Amino acid sequence: MTSPAHSPVVQSFFDRPTGSLQYVFHCPETMQGAVVDPVWNYDPKAVATWTTSADEIEAYIRDTGITPAWILDTHPHADHLSAARILSDRFGGVPRAIGEKVREVQALWQKLYNWSPEETPDGSCWDRLFAAGDSFMVGTIPVRVMLSPGHTLASITYVAGDAAFVHDTLMMPESGSSRADFPGGSAAALWDSLQAILALPAEMRLYIGHDYPAKDAAPRCMATVAEHLAQNAHVKAGTAREDYIARREARDATLALPERMIAALQVNLRGGALPAAEDDGHSYLKMPVNRFAPR
């Protein structure tokens, strides 16, 4: 069992339009904490942004007396814009981090967007790029980085004491797992990542990246490894690898692209920044026409 000193306090936040779960976890002994996958609110019809989700996280951190040490993204999100840069600025430049394979995703999408050669896919818009096996401390809470590709090439999991932030790999047990059909995604790789996550201790709390409750229902965000092994609709104990891959790929073939994907990746692959403003002082997003098949 994990000692109480290695059990972070976790608070979730929910962005209902995108079904996105965001987290703040902190060490109760030192009150040092970290933010995971914060949302920068975006209206795709108006092409407008606002900061309600970041405001909620900021208020919680200040009201609780947490000192943020990191702003962490698990991967370059396709369904929401990252508020990592916004929150970093609000707290005096708290370092922002993501997995090192984000450089491969940048290179892939640089071609899809026909970005200029000057926009080098080197990951330099983050303060830290984590490799598999890297570790750091948040107060007395040890945090270990696991490479968890499949949903994207660059997906990572943060294992913080007895809590793991598993992003878009697992859903709640009755919903199974997340999609693996984005550029660079792979159902086979996702299966391998899920097996590594489910090999964590049975009592490990797994905090997921999305939930899609009914309009008037509250979201759920956590189940233990033991609960997933017993109940997960896609990967419970005894599931065969080939059966999972076939089921995942068949399901993914029916899914539409996320409504915010084209905008989100232009921002998220810049570390949460809009494209540079043009001579009129405004930023503009590109739309790569006919680069994706309709579904």
Q: Is 88 helix (H, G, I), strand (E, B) or coil?
A: helix
Taking a C-beta distance cutoff of 8 angstroms, is the pair 27, 140 a contact?
Answer: yes
Alpha-carbon distance 141 to 160, whole Å? Answer: 6
C-alpha R_g of the chain: 18
Give the orientation angle of helix 241-252 with respect to helix 187-198, to 10 degrees.
130
Domain annotation covers residue 80: yes
Domain assignment present for 277 = no
Using CA atoms, how far apart are residues 79 and 118, in angstroms rounded to an integer?
A: 26
How far is the CA of 57 from the CAs of 47, 115, 251, 285, in angstroms? 23, 32, 34, 27
CATH number at residue 197: 3.60.15.10
Phi, psi of 153 (to 5 degrees): -65, -30
Identify whether 2 is part of a domain.
Answer: no
pLDDT value of residue 119: 78
255 within a domain of the structure (yes/no) = yes
What is the β-pairing status of strands 205-208 and 222-224? antiparallel
Query: Within a domain: residue 231?
Result: yes
Furthest CA-CA distance within the chain: 59
Least Cα distance to 94 among 48, 4, 140, 32 occurs for 32
Residue 254 within a domain: yes
Phi, psi at 229, each rounded to 5°: -65, -30
Q: Is residue 35 part of a domain?
A: yes
Q: Would 282 be classed as within a structural domain?
A: no
> Model-level pTM?
0.95
Tally of domains within the chain: 1
CA distance 132 to 71: 18
Q: What DSSP letter does each residue of 97-166 carry, written as one string? A: EEETTHHHHHHHHHHHHT--TTS--S-TTSSEEEPTT-EEEETTEEEEEEE--SSSTT-EEEEETTEEEE
Structural domain that includes position 168: 8-268
Query: What is the full per-residue pLDDT of the chain (295 aa) written as tens digits?
Result: 445 568 999 999 999 999 999 999 999 999 999 999 999 999 999 999 999 999 999 999 999 999 999 999 999 999 999 999 999 999 999 999 999 999 999 999 999 999 887 777 899 999 999 999 999 999 999 999 999 999 999 999 999 999 999 999 999 999 999 999 998 999 999 999 999 999 999 999 999 999 999 998 999 999 999 999 999 999 999 999 999 999 999 999 999 999 999 999 999 999 999 999 999 999 999 999 998 888 7
In contact, 125 and 115? CB cutoff 8 Å: no
- pLDDT score, position 212: 96
Determine the residue type at 45. Answer: K
Residue 5: per-residue pLDDT: 63
Place of tokens 């989100």: 264
